[in-house]
Structure formats: C-alpha cells, structure tokens
Amino acid sequence: MNSAISEQHLNRTAYVYVRQSTLAQVRHHQESTERQYALQQKALELGWREPSVQILDRDLGKSGAQIAGREDFKTLVAEVSMGQVGAVFALEVSRLARSNLDWHRLLELCALTGTLVIDEDGCYNPADFNDGLLLGLKGTMAQAELHLLRGRLLGGKLNKARKGELPVTPPKIAFTVKLPSSLAIQVRRYAARTRHSLSDVVSHALTVALDRGRRHG
C-alpha cells in the first residue's frame, strides 16, 4: 500500500471519475474509456474494499471546460466538501477539469478534507505543498492543452475556408406573407382541392413569381 494512504482514507469512499469529452470519443476511443474503468481495480489493489469504490460515469460525452452540465463532477465536489471521500481516482487531471477555476476549487476542498488525488502517474496529497504545486501545474497544462486544441481546429477550418473547401450550411429563412382576403380564399380552396398545405402553395406561387421576374428583368 502507498505510504500516503492511511486507514482514514481507506475508511472513506474512493470515487473513480470517468469522462470523455464527446460522444464520438466514447464510441471510437474505447481503449481510453476501458483504462478509466480499470481504475476501480487499482483502488482495490491499494486497499479499498469493493463496496467503498464508486464509479462516476454520467459525464461521458461532456466537455471538462466548464462545470455546467457535468452532474457527476458536481456530485464529486459535494462529497469531497463533506469529508466523505478518501481518494479521487482519474486517469489524468484533464478528465476531472480543463478549467483552472474548477480544478483549483476541487484541490482546495481536497486539501481541507484530507482527500487524496490519484491518477495514472501517482498518488498526491493536495495538502502537501509539493504535491499541491505539482497538481496545480497539471491543471494549468490541461487548460493550456484545451486552448491549443481549439486553436488547431480553428486553424484547420480557416485553411479550408481560404481554399473554398469549407462546407457551409445556408441559414433557413422564415417569413410571413399577408395575402388580400380574396386571394387568400382562392389559395385555401386550391390547397383543399390539391391536398397541399397552405405554406407549400404560397411557397410555390412565390417561386414562380420570382422566376418570372428574373426572366423578364
């Protein structure tokens, strides 16, 4: 057992936090998801009993850039703040948060309640100065990585746009047409007779009118 892990930690719950940023990653990067679930076995090997190891995986397919919409991350923060958590397991810091604000809030709570943070690289005590410094740097790097990824995606789109290869979906335009009462009655009768909707009839009439206008200048 790791020397940083005490009986006090083992008597509390160990939470394994599982997250992928998008549903596409969940479908196509299954190895990463499996490695995250495997942290449950790591917790057992470190001394936690099976009933004391809980998996939080409702945030699969959600970005770590903000706390909004990440219900399991909110659950984790609440449990840590109440001193119910012995250790937080995550494959890497970026799984927990890519926002410095959310990350440092969690670290502060872990330090105050004696909760450990365990990732693929090691076991850290946020209350320890050196461990806290290292975890802070990991969080900063995770946020910087998100910034770089966004920059690469935007650069790729701009490059395609310069070459005229960026697919663009034209916006849908809705409008209201007010017809004279006599014409409106004729349109309704025609729609009833041909079993077309009113909007289809009016749209077709406008298309014909615009087409004739273009032909005749």
Q: Which residues contact 177 (CB under 8 A, 6 or more apart)?
A: 202, 206
Q: Is 3 a catalytic residue?
A: no
3-state secondary structure of 55: strand
Alpha helices in the chain (DSSP H): 7-10, 23-28, 30-37, 39-45, 71-81, 93-96, 100-113, 129-162, 181-194, 198-215
| Orientation of helix 100-113 relative to helix 71-81, angle to 10° | 30
Calpha distance 152→23 (Å, rounded) = 20
Q: Which of 3, 6, 21, 203 is catalytic?
A: 21
Check: CB of residue 23 under 8 Å from CB of residue 61: yes
| CA gap 195, 206 in Å, rounded | 19
Catalytic residues: 21
